[in-house]
Structure 1
Amino acid sequence: MTTRLKIPSAEDSTEIDAVITYEGKHTGEGAPAIIISHPYGPLGGSIVNNVVQSLHKYFSSKNYVTASFNFRGAGRSGGRTSWTGMPERQDYIAVMNHLFKSNAYPTISSIIICGYSFGSMIAGSITPPADIPSRYLLISYPLSVMWALTSFHSTFFKEQVMQRMDSANDATSGPMLFIMGDRDQFTGLGALKRWIADKATERTTLAVVPDGDHFWFGMEETLIQIIDSWLHQ
């Protein structure tokens, strides 16, 4: 079953347009969940995106409670895109809180915090409830252009990810998968490798896709295969 609804942002009650799918039977038992966030809105990013839609279809077929949503200023959501990324964090948190509090879905037993491009920057800064097993799935992380997406608040977002990669920070660290094409137009592979290597632990994986660029057109199935393998490790 798929539901489309408006969720008030945790920032300022801006209406956030969300699509939530659960194909399993609502038996009262728990189910895993994933929240998928999209690329930068002013450049055309929304839930109507090849990567977002491919992930939504895959995870809902695996009986995840699957949520995709439009950040403020994108698609059917209200408001405007911010200059800092901070309000968008609250948009993401609002969707996450909705999944945990609503009786319309099974109890959330675990969660994947997921984002693509700009959405991966936001997702990497999100902390789920401490008692819920979590993973992070970050696709085409925009490391080299974060300064432009956040009005020079990129240090905050980088630090959030580094805390999750730090083995000493067990409370907020779940397994983390970065997926990057070796022809990404916005972040050099070498820069990302060096950044991850600075804090990476056994919980951190970087999957590099030969001939993959930032947009993944025609390579959506490759992404799904990598993700499926990671989930079964």
Structure 2
Amino acid sequence: MPEVIFNGPAGRLEGRFHPSKQRGAPLAIVLHPHPQFGGTMNNQIVYQLYYAFAERGFSVLRFNFRGVGRSQGSFDHGAGELSDAASALDWAQAVSPEARACWIAGVSFGSWIGMQLLMRRPEIEGFISIAPPANRFDFTFLAPCPSSGLFVHGDQDRVAPVKEVTSVIEKLKTQKGIVIEHALVEGANHFFENRVDELMVAVGEYLDKRLDNPPRVAVASRAD
């Protein structure tokens, strides 16, 4: 997939972008786990999410937050990373001006950033939030949650226990017509070790339901 460099608030940001061949295709932005604990855009789940969207006809971008890989700047405890995500969406919209909609997906720390971006950008119509660390970061800003989406958790998650996420979801205020779904992956820990396939089945089923079973698009080799 094409490597891209775009400007962020703290300098250049490194990413990978798959442009859809279909005019007006929707956009998806995928956000990686915590930069200080090894999170990068090449995280296995981020990688799989990227292709899940690409194979369903999206133009999709994954990128490294500031200070990760070849992205400039340094870790900013969430505030700067949210600005990075906003810049990523701005860049994707600039190169795909006819995009009719946008989705956001995030893993762990990235899910916290993604949900904050969702609250600020009304064009985001769907989300995938994987292993959101509701015990470590405040999710009470989701009041109301403006878009339908999916939370996914492993039932053996010790980093962000599922009961914490369930509590957040139960307290979510939603707008009329908004539906929040929650999927549990049996036997999965916070990193979905040996359970990534099961995770992606849950994500794929949700996307297919929301998108009305879109035809699959041939995507260049995942080794590219």
Identify whether the pair has TM-score above 0.5, normalized to the shorter chain.
yes
Root mean square deviation, CA, Å: 1.8
Q: CA deviation at 1:106?
A: 6.4
Q: Mind listing any 5+ residue stretches in structure 1 that lack a counterpart?
A: 147-153, 165-172
Letter in 2 for 1:19: R
Question: 1:186 maps to what in 2?
Answer: 159
Q: Matches of 1:228 and 1:3 in 2, distance apart?
A: 24
Question: 2:29 maps to what in 1?
Answer: 35
Question: 2:199 maps to what in 1?
Answer: 223
Q: CA deviation at 1:108?
A: 1.3
**1:63-100 superposed Cα distances (whole Å, 9 cap, x missing partner):** 210110100111111111113x1110010000101111
Contact 2:32 2:108 in 1 (8 A): yes
Contact 1:50 1:217 in 2 (8 A): no
Q: Matches of 1:217 and 1:32 in 2, distance apart?
A: 30
Question: 1:77 maps to what in 2?
Answer: 71
Q: TM-score, normalised by structure 2?
A: 0.85
Q: Matches of 2:201 and 2:140 in 1, distance apart?
A: 29
Q: Matches of 1:211 and 1:187 in 2, distance apart?
A: 14
Aligned partner of residue 161 in structure 1, secondary structure: coil
Moved over 4 A (4+): none
Letter in 1 for 2:111: S
Letter in 2 for 1:175: S
Letter in 2 for 1:142: P
Q: CA deviation at 1:222?
A: 1.4
Question: 2:117 maps to what in 1?
Answer: 126
Question: 1:87 maps to what in 2?
Answer: 80
Q: TM-score, normalised by structure 1?
A: 0.82
Aligned partner of residue 207 in structure 1, secondary structure: strand
Q: Mind listing any 5+ residue stretches in structure 2 that lack a counterpart?
A: 210-224
Give 1:25's match in structure 2, choosing from 21, 25, 42: 21
Kindly, what percent of the aligned residue pairs are identical?
23
Aligned length: 205
Change in Cα spacing, 1:133 to 1:46, as seen in structure 2 (3 Å) is closer
